Amino acid sequence: MVSKVYFTKEISPESLVRIYEKLWVELTWNVWVKVSTWERWSKWYLKADLIAPLVKKLNGTIIECNTAYPWARTDAQEHMKVSQEHGFTSFADVDIMDADWEFQIPVKNGKHLKYDIVWEHLKNYDCMLNLAHGKWHAMWGFGANLKNQSIWVASRNGKAYIHSCGQTADTDKCWTMKYEQQDFIESMAEAATAVADYFKDQNKPILYITVANAISLDCDCDAHQWDPVIADIGIFASLDPVANDQAFIDAIRATHEEWTKDIQERIDSRKWRHITEYAESLWLGSTKYEIEEI
């Protein structure tokens, strides 16, 4: 199967709306916009003025889940303050899911996870816009839609369960567990697939958009984040998260800028390319795609 991935080099509020419209799936009722508000010190993330027109067009609610690591966004109240400081509450409701009960959704055919642990508020939404900022990360190499749908949809206990490759849901114990990097990458793919299956089983659509701008060698959660090291690439959009992530990874490889090799090394050393291959084996999507530029 070859999936369609739409792409535009223009990164603007208007182009973000246009590429959403190219997907030809209208999100109308109880729209969940999964976008990270990031840490208080962050410099490079999807800024409020970029995403506000699209979120307002959808009358969407920005959804966040607290972090497993102990910083400002570990606590729902402080997390909401960060969302306010970064301007997200100025144009949309923000739902910090960790203020509610959690429940388990099944992982089908997983090698590491038996289930994914998510928040009860998930049941309140009829569709999702997975809106990711493409970035590097110290633990998993690089992240876009698959990361956004695994780690960043899971509850704090769910994050611990993914991080430990199914060994524990205890946020204190998960950091001491031993595992292979490939197993961790596969656990992320399994969690992302569980969320997709949960929505699909209830006929709830998910759309995938990744904005490849302000690409640093550090994640948006890093307190000492580098400035961007390569030029902005553009925006990718698809109904297939595997194809969208694959197109983004391939676009990074094709930049051939001074720092490209450093980004490549970090992606490869953390086995990030394996996530699309493994997600494809779980029938989440296809690594084969065709680009339609708009």
Q: Express each pLDDT in 122-180 by its tens digit.
A: 888 999 999 999 876 666 557 799 999 998 899 889 999 999 999 999 988 988 999 99
Distances (CA, A) of 289 to 92, 124, 140, 223: 33, 32, 23, 36
Q: Which domains does the chain have, with CATH numbers?
A: 3-293 (3.40.50.11440)
How much is the pTM?
0.92
Q: Please answer whether residues 127 and 29 qualify as being in contact, where contact means their C-beta atoms are separated by less than 8 angstroms.
A: yes
Instruction: Name the stretches of the chain with pLDDT < 70.
Output: 39-43, 66-77, 99-100, 136-141, 217-226
Q: Please answer whether residues 37 and 88 qualify as being in contact, where contact means their C-beta atoms are separated by less than 8 angstroms.
A: yes
Q: What is the length of the chain?
A: 294
Q: Give the three-state DSSP class for 146.
A: helix
Residue that is written with structure tokens 């089908």 in the block: 108
How far apart, in whole angstroms, are the C-alpha atoms of residue 93 and residue 101? 20
DSSP state of 217: S
Q: What is the number of alpha carbons within 13 Å of residue 263 lying toward its C-beta?
A: 28
Read off the amino acid at residue 186: E
Q: Please answer whether residues 243 and 289 qualify as being in contact, where contact means their C-beta atoms are separated by less than 8 angstroms.
A: yes
How far apart, in whole angstroms, are the C-alpha atoms of residue 13 and residue 50? 5
Q: Give the three-state DSSP class for 229.
A: coil
